[in-house]
Amino acid sequence: MLSKTLLVALATLFSATPTLAVDCTREGLISAAQSYLAAQIAGSPSTLKLSASNFTYQQNNKVSTIAKSLLSTPYKIDYNRTSADTIDCASYTLWISTAGSKPYVVGTQIRHANNNTAEISMIDTVAATTGDLFFNATKTLDYIRKEDWSPLAASSRPSRDLLKKVGDGYLDMWTDAKAADSIPWGTDCERVEGSQYTNPCGKSLPRGGSSKKNGMRRYVIDEVLGSVDVLCQFDSLGAWPDSHEVRVQEGKVKYVHTITVMKVG
């Protein structure tokens, strides 16, 4: 006969573990991002493991069909880099293609539902090409290749909270006159906006002026690389699909990259 105490203990044990908690792993996120790059090089989205019940493809802030997307054309990739957010189970991949008549600089966030990195639930891409703001893939590649994106020592990683604040603070500079001074600018820090280079990156910043806040913000935050990427719609200046990525080292901003889809002329 089981004692009453034991039955209560067993009931508590089972009710406390209704489902198995699954962790989102860095390895899983990076491996899914690599499958995305392989599909892009092949021009073949059918190789991707997409969720059958919950998948969305978005390109330049519009939901669209993956079969007709950038992924269905092969591109030679000169540079790629991925950051990983194990809390939101998402990754950010930057890739640059300088070859051919249609060069690209692309920022893609990949999301996974229920921490299941074996399946992709969203591919969210901002893709800039010839004619977009400050676009020159060759120049961008030259700047970005020289950067050091090695993982930060565990003792000097910025908090998730700080990274989120830096990402938001940056995008708020056009609507909030005080936002620029809320950001910890590094002294030797580089800003690459499209192919336009500024050093130090805290030079000539906007201080308000627009009444429209930059909207549609989607975040990938990686404490290991000290980075935040925010995909958004750059409403302060126009309804432009945009990616802003910032790296923080030793508590200060080290790199800023922007990809902005704005056809000029």
Ligand X SMILES: *[C@@H]1O[C@H](CO)[C@@H](O)[C@H](O)[C@H]1NC(C)=O
Q: Is the dihedral of CA 175, 144, 105, 228 positive or negative?
A: negative
> Of 20-28, 163-171, 175-183, 238-246, which part binds ligand X (CB under 6 A)?
20-28
**77 touching ligand X, by CB under 6 A:** yes
Cβ atoms of residues 92 and 229 within 8 Å: yes
The H-assigned helical ranges of 148-227 are 160-172
Q: Are strands 56-59 and 122-129 parallel, antiparallel or unpaired?
A: parallel
Footprint (CB under 6 A) of ligand X, residues 93-112? 111
Task: Give the strand order in the sheet containing 185-193.
Answer: 196-198, 185-193, 252-260, 241-249, 227-233, 215-222
Torsion of CA 147, 149, 155, 156, to 10 degrees: 40
Cis peptide, bond prior to residue 200, ω within 30 of zero: yes
**121 touching ligand X, by CB under 6 A:** yes
**47 touching ligand X, by CB under 6 A:** no
> Of 66-74, 134-142, 215-223, 239-247, which part binds ligand X (CB under 6 A)?
134-142
> Of 19-27, 163-171, 210-218, 236-244, which part binds ligand X (CB under 6 A)?
19-27
Binds ligand X by CB under 6 A, chosen from 21, 52, 154, 264: 21
> Of 21-29, 178-186, 238-246, 256-264, which part binds ligand X (CB under 6 A)?
21-29
**115 touching ligand X, by CB under 6 A:** yes
Q: How many chain residues interact with ligand X (CB under 6 A)?
A: 21
Binds ligand X by CB under 6 A, chosen from 7, 9, 63, 87: 87
Cβ count within 10 A of residue 218: 19
Binding site for ligand X (CB under 6 A): 21-24, 37, 41, 54, 77, 80, 86-87, 89, 111, 113-115, 121-122, 136, 138-139
